[in-house]
Amino acid sequence: MLKRYSFEQVKKMTNSFAHVLGKGGFGIVYKGKLPDKSGRDIALKILKESSQGNAEEFINELVSMSRASHVNIVSLFGFCYEGNNRAIIYEFMPNGSLDKFISENMSTKKDWKALYNIAVGVARGLEYLHNSCVSKIVHFDIKPQNILIDEEFCPKISDFGLAKLGKRKESIISMLDARGTVGYIAPEMFSKNYGGVSHKSDVYSYGMVVLEMIGETKREGVETSTSNKSSVYFPDWVYDDLERKETMRLLEDHIIEEEDEKIVKKMTLVGSNWWFIIFIIDLLSLL
């Protein structure tokens, strides 16, 4: 059973909302401490005033996180539901989100081994959500901002507001409209020509995250390409460059060792060959 807190307790936990960790369309995240002997640091997300959309995201997040228990999934500690005041309480991640981790800690010299381990951890978290959790959970909003990094640089998937639960044997998910963040949304979310919506949509988003981790999505002219290549085909574009041995051109300002170059190429292959990853997932499900 999840622990329910009053809004007054929430105020005490955050010292009257003194320390802001971040802001977004969902609301504001504050740092606080659990009101018990442990005094453990927590992150407390205060959702915006009640609306039908916010209410659905609130329930989605509570249900999804309460059913998931994995080293690469953020742990849920409790919630507040008091009138129009709604809050979700989960573990605090001292190294922030992946996008900040990349921009702040790796702007001059990237730790490729750390990035590789983060990519592996996120993949393990997604595999758990899709295949090993009590209910199959499709996240639908995998992006660097929703991947948090703990003190040991272990990645944890967070923000399940757009998630959808289903049965393990179900493959296609019924969707009324597209959900997610532009740049990470799988093509089948927009057009049935690419197939039905399923957990594979998370795999596509994961591939785009890996490409962003290695800097591929920051290429000059990605969004204004003269060849009119849309973001849907961007992974194929990167893979073509890999075949022409042009992958390392973004790293000209950084001296990297041969071992790191192998890691970058491996991550490029994973990020661009999302269709191959999906094939492997389908194959494993038949065994």
Q: Which residues are catalytic?
A: 141
Picking from 269, 219, 236, 258, the residue whose alpha carbon sits closest to that of residue 119 is 269
The verdict on whether residue 45 carries a ligand-binding annotation is yes
**Half-sphere exposure of 259 toward its Cβ, with a 13 Å CA cutoff?**
4
Question: Rounded to an integer, what distance in angstroms lies between the CA atom of residue 67 and that of residue 58?
Answer: 14
All residues at 6 or more sequence positions from 131 whose CB lies less than 8 Å from its CB, including other chains: 168, 285
- Structure tokens of 109? 């010299």
What is the C-alpha separation between 103 and 285, in angstroms, rounded? 37
- The tokens for 9 are 């307790």
Distance between CA atoms of residues 197 and 178, nearest Å: 10
- As annotated, the binding site for ATP includes 45
